[in-house]
């Protein structure tokens, strides 16, 4: 457990962007106004699967007030297909382009077909409705099992294996021998529905293609460099021709890594000769951006009489949506990642279906597979008469445990999370009455490294400017400034973080994979170390000594001493300003384990679930800003509970989403959840100077199975489909 003491790390200062955000001054993409700017609209497919026979834009172009109309025909010719790297995943250029503006076929209802720029958004919408598209409707297929069946409608004729775009297989030990040693074997199959991240701010992009051939883009993105690189790839331009300025971001959760609007706004701007702004409606967000896959997962686990797992098998089929790339690989990698198991077989299928192309969503793929593993373990614990946490502790992954996909764990906190759950006041409190149930589950997410850059400039008043490229979704300005302050011996308030455009800072990967506090934090730490080295040299010069020391915020040598601020004031006379940059590509990423305890009540007459008490437990490595760690834990838990209970894409047989609004896409509101209690476990990550592990994702993995297990305890029913909504609970 963490024992190092810090001055700034572990405290809870007010976030640097807080005042602007609570007073409405922070600028989001929709707030942007540029001289001569015009407004765009996108025409979307009404069919889930159809061949495009003809697109006629003449009437739209003739409407007064229209500046430009574009279709896929306006993309520059691509010589060969290539892979576009998104940092947290990659895609083929042809898929990326095909999803941005359909060509040949539309593959889901909501698929973008054409776009218009006009004097205002109303004229643009009117013009979009004037575009004539002749479709030849084709049969659609909406779920992975149906899409894998013989005779299913085929989405992509060039895929060699029907709708199965990719398979993954991990094997370890001897599965048959493992099951032969088991005294109890439980096998279950569970489905999950397509769900959306539900960020509050819709996607938006404003682009200006200037006459010198360079493009400026302002957008809501989790990664400005990824948006730059993807836009450049789609438009077949060098990356240096695109500059992306990230605006403030109203949530992303993985869904704002892909580009949808940026290249379209750029193409419209090129034709219009003006800046063009595109803003999605909520319905566009549901039907035109990437939700997370629906899935079918079958898990079979065998245990010996002592509750030691002897073998485990998983079969996973995930719906990629219209283009390959469901998160089945991480689903397969994480399905048994919490446990030390000798004999394993995992098979996964990435299946294309006529629904929106899926995107990352907080630990993408892991909640789907954990649902099956953790509910099967709950059933095993019940049948063996074991405490469900004790069963998990008996099998928990530890340092040295080998995961089925290859790696051996370094120091991890799986056992510590389980022990914290067992010792928690919640786990030791009685349930309040009848029709109530308590569920437990745990989950794992890897976290990633990826490159990050930062620059620190010392001001004469003793403060420090921090220039960085990680868009701030969850309080990263604060967590990064605090790491700089810790090294520099300053207060968090003395660091002024600014997130800048892609021309103004070194390459920085996405704010995703729970990496920003870890990876950009390391860049900030390294830059701060360089600042201290230069400042020590300045102090030495000032005092005419060989070297000066720095400790507790004070430079000293031979009886001389100066505070950071005092020395900062003298930089001008000791050689000029100090400014240092660092770029890192760290390999020491540490995975995070999380657990959930949840108490539910079910109304036996209506099937309605009330959430009574929730405790989220997670290994943060070291919590830089505990309040924002707690916020991540509460956020992931709230999203997971919504996913488990009520959220789903409700599709009709024709493939139309019938509930594409926040009225009918039933995310939990503040009135549906109690205050979520948190327990931060700190098992420092040896791969980071402060021990940081990412905390953004693992917390969404346990809620699905924890809810399922609690519902079983409350109702006696083991349901096999998420969402476990009131009608499902009553079997109606």
Partner 1 sequence: MKAFDYAAPASLPEAVGLLASQPAARLLAGGTDLLVQLRSGRKQADVVIDVKKIPELNEITLAADHSLTIGAAVPCYRLTDHPAVQAHYPALAEVASWIGGTQIQGRASLGGNLCNSAPSADSIPLLIALSASAHIAGSAGRRSVPVEAFCTAPGRNLLAPGELLVSLHIPAPAPHSGAAYLRFIPRNEMDIAVVGAGASLTLANGVIAAARLALSSVAPTPLFVPAAGDSLVGQAPTPAALEAAARLAQAAASPISDMRGSAAYRRHLCAVMARRALELALTRAQENH
* Identity of the residue, 289 or 725, whose beta carbon is nearer to partner 1 in the bound complex: 725
**Structure token digits, residue 50:** 């159809």
- By the rule CB under 8 A, 200 interacts with partner 1: no
Interface residue with partner 1, options 61, 342, 419, 672 (CB under 8 A): 672
- Token digits of residue 191: 């489905």
Nearest distance, CB of residue 668 and partner 1, angstroms: 7
Specify the pairing of strand 38-44 against strand 112-118: antiparallel
Residue 529 DSSP one-character state: H
Query: Does residue 675 interact with partner 1 by CB under 8 A?
Result: no
Binders of partner 1 among residues 92 to 131 (CB under 8 A) are 122, 125-126
Q: Identify the residue among 2, 222, 295, 725 touching partner 1 (CB under 8 A).
A: 725
Binding to partner 1 by residue 545, rule CB under 8 A? Answer: no
Smallest distance from partner 1 to CB 77, Å: 36
Please tell me whether residue 726 binds partner 1 under the rule CB under 8 A: yes
334 touches partner 1 by CB under 8 A: no
CA 107/CA 47 separation, integer angstroms = 8
- Give least dist CB 281 to partner 1, A: 9
Q: d(Cα 170, Cα 279) in Å, to the nearest integer?
A: 42
At 676, list the tokens: 């979520």
Stretch that binds partner 1, among 2-10, 318-326, 559-567, 655-663 (CB under 8 A): 655-663
Q: Is 612 in the site for partner 1 (CB under 8 A)?
A: no
Separation CA 659–CA 392 (nearest Å): 38
628/637 Cα distance (integer angstroms): 14
Does 663 sit near partner 1 (CB under 8 A)?
A: yes
Q: Which of 94, 534, 556, 659 binds partner 1 (CB under 8 A)?
A: 659
CB of 367 to partner 1, least distance (A): 20
Give the other-Cβ count within 10 Å of 144's Cβ.
27
Secondary structure letter of residue 139 according to DSSP = -
Residue number with CB closer to partner 1 (82 or 658): 658
> Taking contact as CB under 8 A, which single stretch among the options 82-90, 543-551, 618-626, 662-670 is the one that binds partner 1?
662-670
The answer to the question of residue 671 lying near partner 1 (CB under 8 A) is: yes
Residue 644 beta carbon to partner 1: minimum distance, rounded to whole angstroms: 12
CB 657 within 8 A of CB 650: yes
Q: What residues numbered 365-404 form the site for partner 1, per CB under 8 A?
A: none
Q: 579-608 mask for partner 1 (x: CB under 8 A)? A: --------------------------xx-x
Residue 645, interface with partner 1 (CB under 8 A)?
A: yes
Stretch that binds partner 1, among 35-43, 158-166, 517-525, 656-664 (CB under 8 A): 656-664
Q: Does 46 bind partner 1 (CB under 8 A)?
A: no
**The pairing of beta strand 112-118 with beta strand 132-137:** unpaired
CB of 356 to partner 1, least distance (A): 17
Q: Which of the stretches 83-91, 308-316, 452-460, 644-652 binds partner 1 when contact is defined by CB under 8 A?
A: 644-652
Number of residues that this document lists for the chain: 732
Q: Which is nearer to partner 1, 114 or 484 (CB)?
A: 114
Q: How many helices (H) and strands (E) does the chain have?
A: 19, 29
Binding residues among 273-312 for partner 1 as defined by CB under 8 A: none
Residue 727 binds partner 1 (CB under 8 A): yes
316 or 676: whose CB is closer to partner 1?
Answer: 676
Q: Of 22 and 670, which has the nearer Cβ to partner 1?
A: 670
Contact 591, 619 (CB under 8 A): no
Compare residues 168 and 612 and give the one whose CB is closer to partner 1.
Answer: 612
Transcribe 311-327 into DSSP letters. EEEEEEEEEEESSS--T
Binding piece for partner 1, criterion CB under 8 A, among 339-347, 531-539, 623-631, 667-675 = 667-675
Report yes or no: 454 and 524 within 8 Å, Cβ to Cβ. yes
d(CA 613, CA 707): 11
Burial 9-29 (b: 16+ CB within 10 A, else e): bbbebebbbeeeeeeeebebb
Question: In 93-143, which residue ranges form alpha helices assigned H by DSSP?
Answer: 93-100, 121-130
Q: Min. distance of Cβ 30 from partner 1 in angstroms? A: 16
Contact segment (CB under 8 A) with partner 1 among 110-118, 149-157, 661-669, 709-717 equals 661-669
Least Cβ distance, residue 374 to partner 1 (angstroms): 24
Answer for which of 410, 666, 717, 721 binds partner 1 (CB under 8 A) is 666
State in angstroms the smallest separation of the CB of 204 from partner 1: 18
Gap between the Cα atoms of 477 and 560, Å rounded? 34
Q: Which of 51, 383, 408, 658 binds partner 1 (CB under 8 A)?
A: 658
Compute the least distance from the CB of residue 128 to partner 1, in Å: 12
Report the residue number, 126 or 187, with the smaller CB distance to partner 1: 126
Q: What share of the chain is helix, strand, coil (3-state, %, to 5)?
A: 30, 25, 45
Give the DSSP H or E segment for 298: strand 295-303
What is the separation, in whole angstroms, between the first and last Cα of the chain? 48
Give the shortest CB-608-to-partner 1 separation in angstroms: 6
The structure tokens listed for 504 are 């103004």
Give the 3-state DSSP-derived string for 45-62, with helices as H, strands as E and coil as C: CCCCCEEEEEEECHHHHH
Pair 410, 399: CB distance under 8 Å:
yes
Q: In what order do the strands lie in the sheet with 579-584?
A: 495-499, 464-468, 452-458, 579-584
41 touches partner 1 by CB under 8 A: no
Count of residues that bind partner 1 according to CB under 8 A: 23
Q: Which run of H or E residues covers position 419? A: helix 414-423
Asked if 732 interacts with partner 1 (CB under 8 A), we say: yes
Q: How far apart are CA 91 and CA 258, in angstroms?
A: 10
- Would you say 125 or 386 has its CB closer to partner 1? 125
Stretch of 10-18, 133-141, 335-343, 665-673 lying at the interface with partner 1 (CB under 8 A): 665-673
Binder among 28, 179, 427, 650 for partner 1 (CB under 8 A): 650
Rounded to the nearest 5 degrees, what angle is found at the Cα of 321, between the Cα atoms of 510 and 632? 40
- Shortest CB 283 distance to partner 1, Å: 8
Kindly state the smallest distance separating residue 196's Cβ from partner 1, in Å.
14
Can you list the positions of beta strands (E) in 199-294?
A: 204-209, 215-219, 242-246, 276-279
Q: What is the CA radius of gyration of the chain?
A: 27
- In 3D space, the residue among 362, 310, 307, 360 whose CA is nearest the CA of residue 336 turns out to be 310
By CB under 8 A, name the binding residues for partner 1. 122, 125-126, 605-606, 608, 645-646, 650, 658-659, 663-664, 666, 668-669, 671-672, 725-727, 730, 732
């Amino acid at each position: 457990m963490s024992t190092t003491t810090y001055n700034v790390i572990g405290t809870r200062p007010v976030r640097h962007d807080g005042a602007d955000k609570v007073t409405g001054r922070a600028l989001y993409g929709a707030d942007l106004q540029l001289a001569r700017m015009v407004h765009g609209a996108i025409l979307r497919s009404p069919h889930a699967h159809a061949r495009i026979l003809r697109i006629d834009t003449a009437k739209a172009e003739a409407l007064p007030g229209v500046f430009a109309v574009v279709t896929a025909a306006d993309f520059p010719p691509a010589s060969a297909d290539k892979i576009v790297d998104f940092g947290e995943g990659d895609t083929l250029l042809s898929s990326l382009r095909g999803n941005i503006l359909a060509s040949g076929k539309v593959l889901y209802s909501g698929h973008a077909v054409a776009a218009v720029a006009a004097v205002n958004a109303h004229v643009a919408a009117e013009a979009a409705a004037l575009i004539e598209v002749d479709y030849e409707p084709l049969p659609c297929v909406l779920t992975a099992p149906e899409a894998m069946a013989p005779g299913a409608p085929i989405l992509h004729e060039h895929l060699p294996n029907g709708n199965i775009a990719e398979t993954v297989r991990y094997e370890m030990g001897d599965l048959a021998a493992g099951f032969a040693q088991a005294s109890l074997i439980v096998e279950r199959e569970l489905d999950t529905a397509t769900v959306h991240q539900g960020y509050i701010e819709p996607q938006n992009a404003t682009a200006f293609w200037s006459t010198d051939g360079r493009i400026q883009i302002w957008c809501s993105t989790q990664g400005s460099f990824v948006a730059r690189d993807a836009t450049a790839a789609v438009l077949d331009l060098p990356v240096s021709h695109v500059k992306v300025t990230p605006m403030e971001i109203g949530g992303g959760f993985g869904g704002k890594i892909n580009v949808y609007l940026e290249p379209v706004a750029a193409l419209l701007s090129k034709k219009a000769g003006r800046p063009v702004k595109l803003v999605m409606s909520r319905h566009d967000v549901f039907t035109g951006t990437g939700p997370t896959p629906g899935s079918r997962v079958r898990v079979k686990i065998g245990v010996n009489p002592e509750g030691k797992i002897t073998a485990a098998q998983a079969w996973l089929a995930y719906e990629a949506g219209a283009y390959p790339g469901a998160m089945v690989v991480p689903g397969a990698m994480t399905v048994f990642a919490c446990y030390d198991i000798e004999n394993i077989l995992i098979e996964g299928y990435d299946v294309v279906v006529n629904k929106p192309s899926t995107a990352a969503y907080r630990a993408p793929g892991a909640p789907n597979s954990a649902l099956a593993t953790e509910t099967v373990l709950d059933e095993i614990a019940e049948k063996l008469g074991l405490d469900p946490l004790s069963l998990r502790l008996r099998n928990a992954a530890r340092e040295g445990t080998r995961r089925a996909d290859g790696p051996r764990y370094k120091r991890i906190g799986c056992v510590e999370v389980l022990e914290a759950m067992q010792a928690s006041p919640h786990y030791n409190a009685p349930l309040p009455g009848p029709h109530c149930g308590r569920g437990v589950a745990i989950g794992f997410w890897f976290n990633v490294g990826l490159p990050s850059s930062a620059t620190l400039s010392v001001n004469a008043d003793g403060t420090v400017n921090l220039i960085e490229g990680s868009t701030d979704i969850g309080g990263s300005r604060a967590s990064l400034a605090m790491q700089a302050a810790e090294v520099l011996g300053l207060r968090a308030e003395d660091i002024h973080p600014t997130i800048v455009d892609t021309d103004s800072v070194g390459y920085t990967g996405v704010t995703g994979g729970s990496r920003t506090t870890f990876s950009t934090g390391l860049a900030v730490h390294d830059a701060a170390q360089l600042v201290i080295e230069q400042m020590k040299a300045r102090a030495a010069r000032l005092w005419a000594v060989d070297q000066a020391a720095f400790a507790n915020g004070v430079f000293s040598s031979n009886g001389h001493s100066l505070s950071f601020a005092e020395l900062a004031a003298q930089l001008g006379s000791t050689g000029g300003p100090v400014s240092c940059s660092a770029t890192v590509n760290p390999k020491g990423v540490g995975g995070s384990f999380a657990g959930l305890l949840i108490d539910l009540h079910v109304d036996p007459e209506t099937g309605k679930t009330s959430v009574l008490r929730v405790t989220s437990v997670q290994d943060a490595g070291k919590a830089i800003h505990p309040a924002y760690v707690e916020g991540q834990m509460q956020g992931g838990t709230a999203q997971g509970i919504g996913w488990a209970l009520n959220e789903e894409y409700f599709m009709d047989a024709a493939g139309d989403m019938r509930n594409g609004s926040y009225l009918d896409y039933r995310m939990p509101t503040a009135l549906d959840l109690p205050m979520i209690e948190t327990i931060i476990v700190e098992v420092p990550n040896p791969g980071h100077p402060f021990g940081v592990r990412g905390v953004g994702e693992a917390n969404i993995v346990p809620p699905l199975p924890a809810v399922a297990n609690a519902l079983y305890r409350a109702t006696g029913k083991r349901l096999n489909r998420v969402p476990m909504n009131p009608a499902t609970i009553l079997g109606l």
